[in-house]
A and B are shown apart, each in its own frame.
Chain A
């Protein structure tokens, strides 16, 4: 299932091919996904912790403000003060519990399956088997967060304050909690303990716009010879020097390249096929060459012949 060649034989998809996976949709179509890198996960988590802490901070401030208000109101008789104080304390305890436990649940159960931190770095939770992300899975992956995240924090705070713990137990405990914290680094899918139990993984969001047609001037055939690109005619020999890899490099240059890059690429192609490079006309030349090359390679593709790059012969 994770055989990358099954889908996209020769295209480099991302900068980190180690994190590329294939998830088969229920319709049976393999979809390319990219596992979120450990750095992105850590960044999202740090953001979430900051958000949770500031929520707790604001609730505390709000409670204190109300308390101060009550203090002014009940200044005369402190006996009646206990009632509202109790209510406030209940609200505070419950909301801290909810922030700590329900924040992740609420956001990961939503349509985007991501907390604010995850949204900010562009990652989301998904079911590993390509099925629906169920509520049980989200609950399971977040309930384990307690040992992975909060326990180490509590542990660190305790060991830093308590002098009594012997250094052996301190170190043993530290290594134990570190094991959970660093668990994602020790497996190739970057699974956290919670992901392992819930059958989930965290993947990158993709958001790509549909670009224009790569070579607009050369794309349309016209009967009369007004199209400047039709000045260039290439022979089979001219086109047989490159494969798909070069075609896609050329596509990138045409889509985003600067004038300088166009010139360099045009002159190296001319050199390769033995043409004299002209000047001032690079884009039109490249578009014509791109279209002709792509037409040739796609024709081969329809007959089951593909050519990876200039070093390989078509199969």
Chain B
């Protein structure tokens, strides 16, 4: 004990002999800085588990002490090297103290427990706009092909138009809707569909960045294709069967694309008409909300891919397809309208 005191006073005497006040300031505090630097370095290397509890608890205190040291040094010291060091260390520890602290699991729980549905409800207006655009697109596609069946070839890319062309027989069309396809390939097909659709949805969202117009065009184009196809089947009295074939996965997939488009329009609208916020602030608020919706869209598209790849081929009758498709649609609607309401009151 006595020896400690002796060393302590000896150190103090050492410091008090230093000529410059700002150097004394530094010598008195540099042990704390070095400790903080060591903690920060460990955490940056991803070794935060190796730190002792003491160090982890000390981090916020050391960080605040460092910030006050920095403020004092800026006013009192002309040692540029010292100030540079303090600036750098402050920034590094700031990023750790205010880093992304939610774990993936907790974030996911919050996301499913209301974050997702709240975000969807927040872009309601854009969902109605996107829905209107999609219905209009389908109607235009239908009307164009009904007026002149040559439009079909302009709207539908070659890969879909195998036998499903204007003037095809009822037998041929029915064959595309029912009948067991090669069941071995279903998993691959589902994965391919998911990857493809997810990329389309991401595109629909990302294009919203350019004032929403490309998003809207993409929605119109995709739905016009659908409308044209509907006309082909309607000509042979297969409307109900075609809608059933489409519904089993389409309720989920089209809903997801609707949400992606709406999210894109939401961002585009925020950039074009930011309201009383600045353009940048409005864009980033809308972008974060839309990002949540987009994570949900990807999840919905995984479901849609599975339904399209497996359920559509396995449920081979129209009634069953309607039941599955609209049952799932009902589930989505209840989830989006209902989930996460109770958090609203308690100040989120």
Interface residues in chain A, defined as those with a beta carbon under 8 Å from any beta carbon in chain B: 7-8, 11, 25-27, 29, 31-33, 82-83, 86-87, 89-90, 93-94, 96-97, 101, 109-113, 124, 126, 128, 131-141, 143-148, 151, 180, 193, 196-200, 205-211, 213-214, 218-222, 244, 247-248, 251-252, 255, 291, 294-295, 297-298, 301-302
B286 and A197 contact, CB distance less than 8 A: yes
B85 and A93 contact, CB distance less than 8 A: no
B291 and A31 contact, CB distance less than 8 A: no
A27 and B67 contact, CB distance less than 8 A: yes
B291 and A136 contact, CB distance less than 8 A: yes
* Bound CA–CA A244/B107 (angstroms): 50
* Bound CA–CA A211/B36 (angstroms): 16
Look across to chain A and name the residue whose beta carbon is closest to the beta carbon of B198. Answer: A97
Q: A90-B187, A93-B191 are in contact. Are A211 and B19 (CB under 8 A)?
A: no
What 1/0 flags go to B308-341 for Cβ under 8 Å of A? 0000000000000000000000000000000000
What 1/0 flags go to B86-102 for Cβ under 8 Å of A? 01111110111011111
A147 and B82 contact, CB distance less than 8 A: no
Interface centre among B46, B78, B79, B84 (most CB of A within 10 A): B78
Look across to chain B and name the residue whose beta carbon is closest to the beta carbon of A88. Answer: B188
* Bound CA–CA A124/B94 (angstroms): 13
A133 and B99 contact, CB distance less than 8 A: yes
Contact of B96 among A7, A111, A210 (CB under 8 A): A111
Report if B287 contacts A (CB, 8 A). yes
* Bound CA–CA A143/B298 (angstroms): 11
* Bound CA–CA A132/B98 (angstroms): 5
Q: A7-B74, A199-B287, A208-B85 are in contact. Are A86 and B44 (CB under 8 A)?
A: no
What 1/0 flags go to B33-52 for Cβ under 8 Å of A? 11001000001101010000
Q: A94-B191, A132-B100 are in contact. Are A298 and B74 (CB under 8 A)?
A: no
B101 and A132 contact, CB distance less than 8 A: yes
Interface residues of B in 6-52 (CB under 8 A from A): 17-23, 26-27, 30, 33-34, 37, 43-44, 46, 48
* Bound CA–CA A131/B115 (angstroms): 20
Residues of chain A within 8 A of B287, CB atoms compared: 137, 140-141, 196-199
4 more contacts with CB within 8 A, not counting A140-B290, A146-B203, A210-B34, are: A82-B185, A86-B186, A110-B46, A137-B287
B18 and A146 contact, CB distance less than 8 A: no
Interface centre among B19, B30, B96, B199 (most CB of A within 10 A): B19
Binds A, one of B142-150, B152-160, B162-170, B204-212: B204-212
* Bound CA–CA A145/B117 (angstroms): 25
Contact of A111 among B21, B30, B46, B76 (CB under 8 A): B46
11 A-B pairs (CB sep. < 8 Å) = A25-B67, A83-B184, A87-B187, A89-B191, A97-B198, A136-B288, A143-B291, A196-B283, A206-B92, A291-B19, A294-B79
Q: A29-B67, A96-B195, A197-B287 are in contact. Are A8 and B20 (CB under 8 A)?
A: no
B209 and A298 contact, CB distance less than 8 A: no
* Bound CA–CA A83/B186 (angstroms): 10
Residues of chain A within 8 A of B17, CB atoms compared: 220-222
B20 and A89 contact, CB distance less than 8 A: no
* Bound CA–CA A251/B85 (angstroms): 14
A198 and B206 contact, CB distance less than 8 A: no
Listed from nearest, the 7 A-B pairs whose CB atoms lie closest are A199-B284, A197-B287, A140-B291, A206-B88, A136-B288, A139-B291, A147-B206
B44 and A111 contact, CB distance less than 8 A: yes
A214 and B81 contact, CB distance less than 8 A: yes
Residues of chain A within 8 A of B77, CB atoms compared: 298
Tell me what chain B mostly uses at the interface: helix, strand, loop, or mixed.
helix
Contact of A297 among B46, B78, B186 (CB under 8 A): B78
Look across to chain A and name the residue whose beta carbon is closest to the beta carbon of B34. Answer: A210
Q: A29-B90, A89-B188 are in contact. Are A197 and B284 (CB under 8 A)?
A: yes
* Bound CA–CA A255/B78 (angstroms): 14
Shortest C-beta distance, B57 to chain A (Å), equals 18
Report if B294 contacts A (CB, 8 A). yes
B284 and A196 contact, CB distance less than 8 A: yes
B92 and A298 contact, CB distance less than 8 A: no
Report if B61 contacts A (CB, 8 A). no
Contact of A210 among B46, B82, B199 (CB under 8 A): B82
* Bound CA–CA A29/B88 (angstroms): 13
Tell me what chain A mostly uses at the interface: helix, strand, loop, or mixed.
helix
Interface centre among A87, A124, A208 (most CB of B within 10 A): A208
A33 and B91 contact, CB distance less than 8 A: yes
B98 and A32 contact, CB distance less than 8 A: no
Residues of chain B within 8 A of A251, CB atoms compared: 79-81
Look across to chain A and name the residue whose beta carbon is closest to the beta carbon of B99. Answer: A111
Contact of A255 among B37, B81, B101, B188 (CB under 8 A): B81
Shortest C-beta distance, A20 to chain B (Å), equals 11
Residues of chain A within 8 A of B99, CB atoms compared: 111, 113, 132-133
A146 and B206 contact, CB distance less than 8 A: yes
Residues of chain B within 8 A of A109, CB atoms compared: 100, 104
Q: A31-B94, A111-B43, A213-B23 are in contact. Are A248 and B18 (CB under 8 A)?
A: no
B288 and A199 contact, CB distance less than 8 A: yes
Report if B202 contacts A (CB, 8 A). yes
A220 and B209 contact, CB distance less than 8 A: no
Shortest C-beta distance, B207 to chain A (Å), equals 6
Residues of chain A within 8 A of B205, CB atoms compared: 143
What 1/0 flags go to B279-309 for Cβ under 8 Å of A? 0110111111111101100000000000000
Report if B121 contacts A (CB, 8 A). no
Residues of chain B within 8 A of A141, CB atoms compared: 287
Report if B192 contacts A (CB, 8 A). yes
Residues of chain A within 8 A of B74, CB atoms compared: 7-8
Report if B257 contacts A (CB, 8 A). no
Residues of chain B within 8 A of A83, CB atoms compared: 184
Residues of chain B within 8 A of A96, CB atoms compared: 195
* Bound CA–CA A112/B100 (angstroms): 10
Look across to chain B and name the residue whose beta carbon is closest to the beta carbon of A198. Answer: B287
Report if B276 contacts A (CB, 8 A). no
Residues of chain A within 8 A of B289, CB atoms compared: 136
